[in-house]
Amino acid sequence: MTTPIFHLTRGEAPILVSFPHSGTYIPPEIAGRMSNIAAAIPDTDWHVPRLYDFLDKLRASRIEATHSRYVVDLNRPPNDETLYPGQKKTGLVPVDTFAGEALYRPGQAPSPDEVIARRTYWQPYHDALAAELARLTAIHGTVILWDAHSIASQVPSLFDGRLPDLNLGTFDGKSCDADIAVRALEVAKHSPFSAVLNGRFKGGYITRHYGNPKKGVNAIQLEMAQAIYMDEPPPFAFRPDLAERVSTAIKSMIKGALDAL
């Protein structure tokens, strides 16, 4: 049985939540060429959908990837151009971890032709995401696309020091109306966590490509420091004792954003 590329749940509220990096599946024909480091899939957005278990009650749509970002990164442009010039690039088809460890055994890394072929894992997610945004926009006129992520709180190759807990990104205001973004940030700052808007993480391809307030789509990325809800070292255990208040903060941010529509 073929593993689906994504799972889509349709709701009726004016919001779609995207989980492009929470997938863990790597097809055997790819996994067989990868390193022992890759087998642990360390750069996964671990457990993030669990923090959004309130979405059904909000009647929100959601789309969740099943495949690992090591197969293809759904939050990178299909032409693999860089999103953060001058900083370490994490590509459409990664060949190393954020820490710089090789994902493939010697001589087994994807060729340029294979990178192009891997877009067959990329396109279905984006087709479904675009179609769901179109459906919701036709109903409501104006909607929110909330792109949900997490990352280790310290990644020296990507940023200095410790990351703030809650990192909202709107491509420096281009992907989302200011009132919506500011409302989400205000709510975040009243939570137990540190928060920033358009700091190190301004939003990846999904935020930048689909966010267009003039066309009714307000896109926000939330990148969370994993230390606030899980154990960052392997085996990357979920921490229910920490996660409840994180989930509460996210729910409040989303409600604040929706109230500002």
Percent of the chain with pLDDT over 90: 93
pLDDT of 161 strictly over 60: yes
For residues 191-214, give the mean pLDDT.
97
User: Backbone phi, then psi, for 251, in 5-degree steps?
Assistant: -60, -40
What is the model's pLDDT at position 16?
Answer: 99
Q: Across residues 206-218, what is the average pLDDT?
A: 98
CATH topology of domain 6-23+46-63+112-259: Aminopeptidase (3.40.630)
- Sign of the alpha-carbon torsion through 167, 172, 175, 180: positive
Scanning the structure block, which residue is given the tokens 């200095």? 160
The pTM of the full predicted model, rounded to 2 decimals, is 0.96
Domain borders along the chain are 6-23+46-63+112-259
- Cα–Cα distance list, 164 to 16, 145, 189, 193, 224 (Å): 25, 22, 11, 8, 8
- Give the pLDDT confidence score for residue 1 in this predicted structure: 46
Residue with tokens 């109230």: 259
Q: Is the pLDDT of residue 59 over 90?
A: yes
- Identify which has the larger pLDDT, 223 or 90: 223
How many angstroms separate the CA atoms of 130 and 137, rounded?
10
**Strand bridging mode 143-151 / 217-225:** parallel
Cα separation, 144 vs 217, whole angstroms: 6
State residue 90's pLDDT score. Answer: 80
pLDDT of residue 5: 96
Cβ neighbours around 190 below 10 Å, total: 13
Beta bridge partners of 145: 16, 219
Write out the two tokens for 73. 């990164």
> pLDDT band for position 82 (50/70/90)?
confident
User: For the segment 100-159, what is each residue's pLDDT rounded down to a tens digit?
Assistant: 999 999 999 999 999 999 999 999 999 999 999 999 999 999 999 999 999 999 999 899
- 82 or 34: which leads in pLDDT: 34
